[in-house]
Structures are given as C-alpha cells and as structure tokens.
Amino acid sequence: MAAAATLREITAGDKEEDVSAFRSHCRNFLVESILQIQKRFDLDAEIHDIVQCTLPQNAAPTIPPSLEGICQKLTYLRELHNNEKIDREWREHAMHDKVNGDLNWEDKMALSGITVVCILMLNVFLTRSEWIDMSHAYRENMNGATDPFEISLLHYGATGRAPFAITYKMRLNEHSGTHIDAPVHFSKGKPTVDELSPENLIGHAIVVNITEQALKNPDYEVSVDDFTNWEKEHGAIPKGTIVFLLTGYGKYWGNVIKYMGLVGNISGDFHFPGIGKDAAQWIVDSGKIKGVGLDVRSLDRGQSKDFFAHRILLGNELFGLENVKNIEKLPTRGAIVYVSPMKIKNGSGGPTRIFAQTDPVARSSHQTASIVLLLSIVFAILLK
C-alpha cells in the first residue's frame, strides 16, 4: 500500500519531519485507510470531509470531527505519529481561516454595498404592484350620456406670449362618462360632491362578479345572495370597502346599442343589469361599504322604474360610481382604489378619474421586510 510505504519512510528516517511535508505524504494513506475503516467498522464519516481535513489550505466548509476521533480505530497510525498534535494544528488552521477570518474595512464596505444592491433588486422583483385606470376617456358620443358631451377648440397655435398653446372648451352633464353620484343626487340635504372627504374616496376594493347571470339576463338585479355567497367564498367584507360589481357590460362601451341593451328594442327601454332593492338595503345594513361602482350606466338596472338602489344607497350617504372601466382587471380583493371626482361646488356628482393599485398590502410588507433584512445584514457585517 502506497500510503503505508510513505509512513514507513517517515518513521524509518527518524529525523525531524517537516509538518507540511508529512501532511501531504500522509493524505494518500489516510484516504485508503479510512475507506477500509468505513467498510470494516461502519464509521459515520464522509471521506470528502476527512480528505478536506488533511488539507489545511482547503479547510472544510464545516469543521470536521477531530482527526483523533476519526483515527481512533487506526491504532497503528496513532502509534506511529503524534496525531493529537497534528489534529490541533489543523483545527487551529481551519478555525483561523473560517471562523476568525476578520474582514478588513474595505471588504466590509464592499460586502455591505453588494448586499444593499441585491436586496433592492429583490424588492423590485417581489413588489410588482400594478396600477389600473378605471375611467373611460371623455369624448363626444359617449354611451348613454344624459346630455351630449361637447368639446370644441378654443385656441390652437401661437399666443402673444408663447409660441404654442392649446385650449378646449367643454360642456357636459355631471352624470356622463365615468362619474360619481354624490349622496345629494337622490337625497335632498345629503352631502354634495365637493363635501366628500378624500379619506372617504379611498378604500380597499372588492369585486363581486355577476357576469354569468347578467350576460344571460340583461335585466338581472344583484341579489343579497350575490353578497353572502361572496363572503362564504372570500371571507367577510372589510369595513370601509368600495364594492365593484362586474356585470360584463363594460366590454360593450363604445357600442351604445349593446351597452344600453337596446338590441331589438326600438322603444328606447334600457336593458342592463343593476342593484336590486334588497341588495341595496343589505349593503347599507352591513355598515362595511362606503361606495358601490358598476360597469354599466346606472346603479339601478335599465328597467328600474323607482331607482331604489340610488335612493337607498345615496340616502344613506354612500357614493355611487357609474360607467366604471376595467373592473375585470381588479383582484377579487386586495386592491386599493382612489376615486377622484371633479370638485364641483354643490355638485350632485361629476366626472371622475378612478384608479386602483393592486396588492398594496403585499407591497408594503415586502418593503418593510426588505428594509429590516437590509439593516440587519449591514449591521452584522459592519459589527463583525
């Protein structure tokens, strides 16, 4: 055996052996010996770790069991050399490199910098929050406007003071396009649009999907069951929620016949879904909902003759949103919606820009977690 020959050589020479020379010579011997020991004594040691242990310059990633322990079966080896001493030297070497390996200040700063960049990148990838525009653009010949939206050019081109300027003049009904119904719209004395506070106009959104029922039946009325079933499936509606009802009619925007349900109906009667009386009362009684929006022209269905949804919801100081766009892009829950109506003094409603941010909760918790992680690692590096 080559390793045995090497050992004989060392001991037969009876001279002062250089420790490093011995290490390299005995490595082969150890490998073969330990392989045999593993076979014979079922020793629970990885040959890789043991070999690593014999190479001080390549100290193992984890400190292996003591060489003395590994070699306890090798009585003949222990007799031949002072393994305890070698073991101690190797372990000191490994400890020095792997445990007490102090970084200098430049290394620490570089490591901190790399850590900051990595965590910021991670943060960007983890926080893919999306913004959704929920308003249709105002233009002439909008679907179902009570009065036509009119816009005309007032000025185009050079002015006395600037090489270019453009200005339009417009005329519109408060209740055209994507707009808000302020409580006063159907309830005398209730808040006007300019009295709605910003905190009332921002809130968590949920989406109740009634597309299946509504596309089958254009006169569909949202029922109490639609809400209770939603809660069974998705949990209780949180307080301060803005509810969006997805009827599926939003996809017909631009086609007034289909959007207003005038197909085969020359009488002018509208056929589009809306909120039923009982459902409107349930929304109010829940005490958790501050506004309701739909992707149709009205809170009440096209066939409504009494506007109960308007009367009940607005009468209890909720606001309504009509002709809302992109409800289908909102998650069922978890988005935050910003409702930003034109602030018209004593207005009953007004053109409204609505936009939503998806997953803001996950976003803020990712950011918090990232900052905590970042600070912890930087401190750990700097204080080490």
In sequence order, the 6+-apart residues with CB closer than 8 A to the CB of 76 are: none
Which residue is listed with tokens 């809400």? Answer: 227
Question: Cβ 282 to Zn ion, closest distance in Å?
Answer: 21
Task: Output 64 or 177, the one with its CB closest to Zn ion.
Answer: 177
Candidates 39-47, 175-183, 200-208, 233-241 — which segment interacts with Zn ion by CB under 5 A?
175-183
Nearer to Zn ion, 83 or 295 (CB): 295
| Site track for Zn ion across 266-305, x = CB under 5 A | ----------------------------------------
Compute the distance between CA of residue 314 and CA of residue 192 in angstroms, rounded to an integer: 11
Q: How far is CA 251 from the centre of its chain?
A: 27
Whichever of 181 and 221 has its CB closer to Zn ion, that residue is: 181
Residue that has been written with the tokens 């349900």 in this structure? 261
Residue 293 backbone phi and psi in degrees, to 5: -130, 150
Amino acid code (one letter) for 254: G
Residue with the CB atom nearest Zn ion in the bound state: 175
Q: Does 48 qualify as catalytic in the annotation?
A: no
For residue 119, the minimal CB distance to Zn ion (Å) is 47
From 5-13, 108-116, 174-182, 212-220, span contacting Zn ion (CB under 5 A): 174-182
Rounded to a whole number of angstroms, the minimum distance from the CB of residue 289 to Zn ion is 18
Please state, as a whole number, how many other Cβ atoms lie within 10 Å of the Cβ of residue 382.
13
Shorter beta-carbon distance to Zn ion: residue 181 or 295: 181
Cβ atoms of 350 and 180 within 8 Å: the answer is: yes
Cβ of residue 173: shortest distance to Zn ion, in angstroms?
9
User: Closest CB to Zn ion among 261 and 349?
Assistant: 349
- CB nearer Zn ion, residue 50 or residue 289: 289
175 forms part of the interface with Zn ion (CB under 5 A) = yes
Q: CA 283, CA 37: separation in Å to the nearest integer?
A: 78
CA atoms within 13 A on the CB side of 309: 27
Q: How far is the CB of 224 from Zn ion (least distance, A)?
A: 23
Backbone angles phi, psi at 373, to 5 degrees: -60, -45
Q: Between residues 177 and 276, which has the closer beta carbon with respect to Zn ion? A: 177
CA 243-245-250 angle, to 5 degrees, is 130
Least separation in angstroms between CB 322 and Zn ion: 5
Size of the residue set binding Zn ion (CB under 5 A): 3
Among 25, 136, 175, 185, the active-site one is: 185
Token pair recorded at residue 7: 């050992």
Which structure tokens are listed for 132?
A: 């959704």
- State the pairing for strand pair 241-246/289-294: parallel
Q: Which of 181, 221, 226, 300 binds Zn ion (CB under 5 A)?
A: 181
Q: Where are the beta strands (DSSP E) in the chain?
A: 131-133, 150-157, 165-171, 179-181, 202-209, 221-222, 241-246, 274-275, 289-294, 319-322, 333-341, 349-357
CB contact burial 346-373 (16+ within 10 A = b; e otherwise)? ebbbbbbebebbbbeeebeebeeebeee
Near Zn ion in 71-130, by CB under 5 A: none
Under 8 Å between Cβ of 254 and 136: no
Least CB distance to Zn ion at residue 145 (A):
11
Stretch in the footprint of Zn ion (CB under 5 A) among 35-43, 103-111, 180-188, 361-369: 180-188
Q: Which is nearer to Zn ion, 180 or 289 (CB)?
A: 180
Shortest Å, Cβ 168 to Zn ion: 23
SS3 at position 167: strand
Stretch that binds Zn ion, among 70-78, 89-97, 171-179, 199-207 (CB under 5 A): 171-179
- Using the contact rule CB under 5 A, the part of the chain among 31-39, 72-80, 172-180, 335-343 near Zn ion is 172-180
Binding residues among 199-218 for Zn ion as defined by CB under 5 A? none
Among the residue ranges 68-76, 103-111, 284-292, 321-329, the one whose residues contact Zn ion (CB under 5 A): 321-329
Catalytic residues: 185
**Residue ranges in contact with Zn ion by CB under 5 A:** 175, 181, 322
